[in-house]
Amino acid sequence: MTQNLLKIKNVKKAYRKHNLIGKEISKFSALNGLNLNVGRGQIYGFLGPNGAGKTTTIKCIIGILEADSGDIIIDGKNIKGNGLYFKNKIGFLPEQVGLYGRLTAKESLQFYGGFYNLSDDLIEKRGKALLAKLGLEKDSNRRVSEYSLGMKKRLALCIALLNEPEILVMDEPTSGLDPRGVKALRIVLKDLNKNGLTIILSSHVLTEVQEICSHVGIINNGKLIREESIDGIRKEIEKKSIRLLLKVKEFPEKISNELAKKKKIKSIKQKNNGKHEEITLELKEENIPWITDFLVSKGIQIFSIEPQKNSLEEIFLKETGGD
């Protein structure tokens, strides 16, 4: 069983607005008793619609915000009152990467490295290795203001990893990156995780989460509504029926009625797109050869068959009440 590295217990957090005399004029509850468990060595994907409380949770974990109540426990110790100690164990990559534009990558690493108890030589050595790993070695003497967004994200990741953290927390790490950047980041993260780094990331890009993460937590309205391993989700998907989209020339009602009576078919929908009849059938994946044989035997001319698998997105939408 994986040992819990991060445990969030019944955390509540509200944003309050006060008037000039300090009286509370409005309150928005971002976290309403959030519970979360991240095991050592996991890549934990943190999912939720906009305003679900993902960024607030991340800010509470890294100490930018203080929870109103509840406990955030890292490695068995509560972070309350030990913020500085835990900040040494955490690396953070924010969604909007803000770096000092006048500094070069090397100078940035020296500056941020100065907050850890590291010698200049060690910062330089680690910095050089990280810049090489993230493909920034050539640009290490260029000013950050000249960097593209992707380069800035990579540099921010170098900064986050400089103290060799036990946990890397990332808020929407792929936002603003082009597909090549996303792929490169995915490779780096998997590599880091192989070396024992626990990663927590929030994302809207569900395919990314499915690709990278080993575990997923879905939150909505500041509460955890589902926590599951990706393998568990895969099994669930496999158990479920898939949808098959067929484009055919004609689809007589007689055949439709006949199919509807078959146990292998769970549902059947039909619509005309002007050029073809589009038939959506819900059935198990193993029955695809059977249905194609059946339709061909009935003389149906099939132009295309497109299986539509259940995905994390569907589970996410279902759990968060979306369509």
Partner 1 sequence: MGLKDKYIQKSKDSWNKKKTWHPLIMSIVLVISLAIIHKAYWVSTTETNPDEIWGNKQITKNGNNWTIDFEEEVGDSITFKGILRTAPKFEVYRNDTFVPGKYSEGEALVYSEDLYGKTMLNVSGIRILVNDDLSKQFFVSEIITIKATLVSNVSTFDNNGEIITLVREGWVAEAEDINLSSSKDNYFFTAELLIFFTGLYLSLKRVTNLREQTGLVWHLAKFELRQGIKSPRMIVLGVIFTLFIIGMGWLLGDLQNGDPESAFFVQNANGALQQLCFFVFFVVSLAAIGVSVDSFHKERQANTLNILLAKPINRETIVIGKAVGLSLVVGIPALVAQILGLMFMINAGDFPSFSGIIAFIVCGQIMIFTLVCFQLCFAIAARSGTDVVMYGLGMWLLFAVVWNLLIYAISFALGIDVTADDFENDPKFQSIASHMGMLNPGYVYQFAVGLLTHRTLAIDLEGIPGWLILLALVLWPITCLKTATKLFKREVRG
Contacting residues toward partner 1, per CB under 8 A: 13-16, 30, 56, 62-66, 84-85, 87-88, 90-92, 94, 96-100, 102, 111-112, 114-117, 156, 159-160
What is the smallest separation between the CB atom of 188 and partner 1, expressed in angstroms? 18
Of residues 124 and 227, the one with the C-beta less far from partner 1: 124
What is the smallest separation between the CB atom of 74 and partner 1, expressed in angstroms? 14
Of residues 65 and 255, the one with the C-beta less far from partner 1: 65
Of residues 102 and 190, the one with the C-beta less far from partner 1: 102
Of residues 43 and 97, the one with the C-beta less far from partner 1: 97
Residue environment code for 202-223, b if the CB has 16+ CB neighbours within 10 A, otherwise e: bbebbebbbbbbbbbbbbbbbe
Of residues 48 and 53, the one with the C-beta less far from partner 1: 53
Q: What is the rounded CA–CA span in Å between residue 281 and residue 276?
A: 16
Angle, CA of 219, 223 and 229, to the nearest 5° = 45
Q: What is the rounded CA–CA span in Å between residue 25 and residue 279?
A: 55
Please, are residues 60 and 104 in contact by the beta-carbon 8 Å criterion?
A: no
The whole-angstrom distance between residue 73's C-alpha and the CA centroid of its chain comes to: 22
Of residues 155 and 312, the one with the C-beta less far from partner 1: 155
What is the smallest separation between the CB atom of 59 and partner 1, expressed in angstroms? 8
Angle, CA of 273, 279 and 285, to the nearest 5° = 140
Q: Which long-range contacts (CB under 8 A, 24 or more apart) does 203-207 make?
A: 203/45, 203/46, 203/47, 203/172, 203/173, 203/174, 204/50, 204/172, 204/175, 205/174, 206/47, 206/311, 206/312, 206/313, 206/316, 207/311, 207/312, 207/313
**How many CB atoms neighbour CB 305 within 10 A?**
16
What is the smallest separation between the CB atom of 56 and partner 1, expressed in angstroms? 8
Could you tell me where the beta strands, DSSP code E, fall in 178-319?
198-202, 215-220, 223-229, 242-248, 267-272, 277-283, 302-308
Of residues 164 and 313, the one with the C-beta less far from partner 1: 164
What is the smallest separation between the CB atom of 236 and partner 1, expressed in angstroms? 35
What is the smallest separation between the CB atom of 36 and partner 1, expressed in angstroms? 19
What is the smallest separation between the CB atom of 104 and partner 1, expressed in angstroms? 13
